[in-house]
Amino acid sequence: MTDPAIIFSPTSRFNPAIKRALNDILGGSAASVLTVTFGLSYSLLIFAGPLSPYLSYGIAATFISSAVLAAVIALGSSMPFAIAAPDSSTAAVTGILAASLVERIAAADPSAPLLSPVLITLCLSTVLTGVVLCGLGLTRLGRAIRYVPYPVVGGFLGATGLLIVMGAIRVITDHPVQLATLRRFADGVALSELGAACAMALVLYLIWHRSRSPFGLPIILVGGVLTAHLAFWISGISPDEARALGWTFRPPPAASFMVPWHTDGFIQYPWFAVPDLLGNLVAVIFVTASSTLFNTTGIEVAMHREANLERELNVTGAANMLTGVLGGYAGCISVSRSILNFSSGGRGRVSGLTVSALSLLMLAIAPELLGYIPKFVLGGLLLYLGADQLHKWIVESRRRLSKLEYLSLIAIIVIIVTWGFVPGILIGVIIGCATFAFSAARVESIKYSFDGSEYRSSLDRSRDDQEVLLAHGGNIQGLNLQSYLFFGSANRLYQHVKRLLQKRPECRYLLFDFKLVTGVDSSAAYSFAQIKRSAADLGVELILVHLSAAAEKVLRSSDFVGAGVTIIAELDHALEWCENEIIAQHQGLAQEEASLRDWFAGILGSEDDADALIHRCQRIEVDAGEIIVQAGDPADSMHFILDGRVGIMVPAEDDRTTRVRSLGRYTTIGEMGLVSNTPRSATIQAEIGSVLYVLNTHQFDAIKEEDPALSHKLLTYFVSVMAERLTFANRTIAVLRR
């Protein structure tokens, strides 16, 4: 028999899975609080007025929708922690659709039944919505959301936060936030309720916001409920009196479930009203589709995760079709509930299944339990969530956005809150296009590309090093960028990089040359963050060259600059650094420490000739920055670089010098001057501590007289070196002329 102590031991292999499942259940339970609360309010919104007698059917439809949407999207979403349910925007247009149908039925026959036609209409609209979503996913038309400007997404999320705050105030006080109702908030009870809710939000911020413990939120909510009832008991207020005073919710009627698919319902359906309902039906489809795309993108931005939009559309479409068949209404992935689940520790698909199970549980248990929950507890949670979203998009975003982008974001929030999500999004896109027109014209962001085998640094290297770079030059891939990088061009750059990394799996260093880039906006920084994630997955190092201070500030604000990203001032030095890394990886220590005799023997083909040449040379050591020869001096010697690196410097403006070439170990310099006896045309300076062997004109003349064979071998070597340098120059010119 297995020892229980072993099963539950801290080292047990089951413990991590159990811990993850527990975190998912706790996160899903926290999100269920919002699902249940919002669901009840959506029921009241849709089944209002003439439909209020059928509220129990609305409650059943709401929890059926919540359960199916949460389960299907939890099982199929590309973001395992995603929580789905009816959303405020989808519930609003669904309510408008139901109200329009009731109005037309009542106008034609006041005594006609309402429940069956309404349920059929809601179910059919939901099924049709699911079909359209699947169509968008299969045709990949949903990718258009990637071209929506970053301020529009931020305005969408900021408006969601503001609407959550306004909804929280209505939940707490039973009064909507409007100019006509402002005087009602001066009532003592309303002020007390708002004060208690603000205190609850403050407790959530001070305790849960900072710790993010998955146990924190349930403990705080339960503690708030117990504290409220203890205060009622001390004050001598009974539960019924607390409910009458508005401190707790009134319990809704018991839920009743009915599937509308029966022959009599279709026979008695008011088909004459269908043409008048087409506009509202299109609104349901459009709002659900746009909410799916924008909510998914909003979660991507908030959680720094990349979603598969086609998969999200297909899964949401399938979930809505199943929801419609079972008698529910349209819904989609939820930003607030997904973020709440993630913040509470939920990372897996068990969270969504937990929400589904608790939604179904609401059909089996008496919803009168809601009557014992103080309004300020749930209202405080809503206030905290809304305030957190507002702070993130109104305060924190100011540091990431330009003035024009920030003003656009604020304008979009105002438009959405005033006129709704659809006008806000449409006007926001127009504002984004206007911002883009002020920023730059739409041009290709890549001028040309290259790899390390065809375009190298100016550092002259040994033949062995050149062979390594020729064989492994594909490890270096470079992109010369141009123009202004904004949401559209940066996304195309991201797609290009993804294809490049797939096509060239050997790539280990990806260079971005920003020399011709005129600016970078915040949405482009998000695309670069996507590039960084894709590169990190493949073990690719990113190198940024010629990065301006303004562009670097934008990229740093999005946390793009960090591990896996290196900034180097010039392209030549960046190529040299990459080449050094490749050579270090592919050459052994023995080859790096090859002796001078081995080098000369390789050049001359004879160890005897190598010894003779060494005898003619003089060894010198130079420190970093030391001048070896000065421009204008007589060309009376050549140098064999055994170790280190020297640079060829020419005069530039303002008494400065510019490096035009750099030479590393096992290379030579000055052979042309030694043959032609012309003055030095450039200064040779040690870039690091170096060891050189010098062959002067006297010794070279002695070799020509005393050892003609050795002299002939040296001249042959000089010609081969010059030919290699000419070939390199031709390749460089060919690349620069693209």
Give the DSSP letter string of 547-589: --HHHHHHHHHTT-SSTTEEEES-HHHHHHHHHHHHHHHHS-H
Please, what sign has the CA dihedral across residues 299, 303, 306, 307? negative
CA dist., res. 715 & res. 708, Å (int): 10
Angle between helix 274-303 and 335-343 (nearest 10): 30
8 A C-beta contact, residue 129 and residue 285 = yes
Q: Average pLDDT of 265-275?
A: 82
Burial (0-12, 13-18, 19+ Cβ within 10 Å), 432: buried
CA dist., res. 671 & res. 714, Å (int): 10
- pLDDT interval class at 555 (50, 70, 90): confident
The pLDDT, as a whole number, for residue 595 is: 67
Q: Average pLDDT of 641-659?
A: 83
Burial (0-12, 13-18, 19+ Cβ within 10 Å), 104: middle
> Which of these ranges, 3-17, 72-86, 206-220, 280-294, has the smallest mean pLDDT?
3-17
CB neighbour list of residue 590: distance below 8 Å, 6 or more residues apart: none
The pLDDT, as a whole number, for residue 82 is: 92
8 A C-beta contact, residue 580 and residue 687 = no
Q: Which residue has the higher pLDDT, 64 or 487?
A: 64
**Rounded (10°) CA dihedral 326, 331, 336, 339:** 70
Please, what sign has the CA dihedral across residues 703, 705, 707, 711? positive
Concatenated DSSP letters of 226-283: HHHHHHHHHHT--HHHHHHHTSBPPPPPPP-------HHHHHSS-GGGHHHHHHHHHH
Q: Which two tokens stand for residue 34?
A: 């919002």
pLDDT in tens, 694-714: 998 888 989 989 998 998 988
Closest CA to 134 of 317, 322, 329, 320: 317
Category of 548 on φ-ψ map: left (φ > 0), alpha (ψ -120 to 50) or beta:
beta
Residue 461 in this model has a pLDDT that exceeds 90:
no
Instruction: Tell me the backbone φ, ψ of residue 239, rounded to 5 degrees.
Output: -55, -40
CA 478 to each of CA 440, 447, 560: distance values in angstroms, whole numbers, following the listed order: 24, 11, 19
CA dist., res. 408 & res. 419, Å (int): 16
Closest CA to 293 of 497, 394, 92, 147: 147
Closest CA to 640 of 606, 622, 613, 667: 667
CA dist., res. 362 & res. 372, Å (int): 15
The pLDDT, as a whole number, for residue 10 is: 43
The pLDDT, as a whole number, for residue 43 is: 77
CA dist., res. 305 & res. 322, Å (int): 27
- Going by their DSSP bridges, the two strands 646-651 and 84-85 should be labelled as unpaired
Residue with tokens 């405080």: 380
The pLDDT, as a whole number, for residue 512 is: 92
Mean per-residue pLDDT over the chain, rounded:
81
The pLDDT, as a whole number, for residue 8 is: 42
8 A C-beta contact, residue 408 and residue 428 = yes
Q: How many CA atoms lie within 13 A of 24 on its CB side?
A: 21
> CATH top-level class for 605-737?
mainly beta
Closest CA to 331 of 277, 295, 298: 295
Q: Which residue has the higher pLDDT, 131 or 203?
A: 131
CA dist., res. 477 & res. 446, Å (int): 13
> CATH top-level class for 446-586?
alpha beta
Instruction: Tell me the backbone φ, ψ of residue 337, rounded to 5 degrees.
Output: -70, -35
Task: Give CA angle at 291 (289, 295), nearest 5°.
Answer: 125
Boundaries of every domain in the chain? 26-402, 446-586, 605-737
The pLDDT, as a whole number, for residue 441 is: 42
CA dist., res. 68 & res. 66, Å (int): 6
The beta strands (E) that lie in 10-125 are given as 84-85
CA dist., res. 371 & res. 251, Å (int): 5
Helix (H, G, I), strand (E, B) or coil at 696: strand
Residue 201 in this model has a pLDDT that exceeds 50:
yes
The pLDDT, as a whole number, for residue 318 is: 95
Residue 320 in this model has a pLDDT that exceeds 90:
yes
CA dist., res. 561 & res. 554, Å (int): 10
Category of 581 on φ-ψ map: left (φ > 0), alpha (ψ -120 to 50) or beta:
alpha
pLDDT in tens, 144-188: 655 667 777 777 767 767 866 776 777 677 776 766 666 777 677
CB neighbour list of residue 87: distance below 8 Å, 6 or more residues apart: 291, 295, 331, 332, 334
- pLDDT interval class at 128 (50, 70, 90): very high
The pLDDT, as a whole number, for residue 686 is: 92
- Going by their DSSP bridges, the two strands 657-663 and 646-651 should be labelled as antiparallel
Residue 257 in this model has a pLDDT that exceeds 80:
no
CA dist., res. 313 & res. 322, Å (int): 14
Which residues are registered as beta bridge partners of 84? 333
CA dist., res. 452 & res. 728, Å (int): 12
CB neighbour list of residue 366: distance below 8 Å, 6 or more residues apart: 251, 254
Q: How many other C-beta atoms are found inside a 10 Å radius of the C-beta of residue 160?
A: 28
- pLDDT interval class at 357 (50, 70, 90): very high
Report the side by side order of strands in the sheet with 637-643.
618-622, 690-696, 637-643, 667-669
Q: Average pLDDT of 303-315?
A: 85
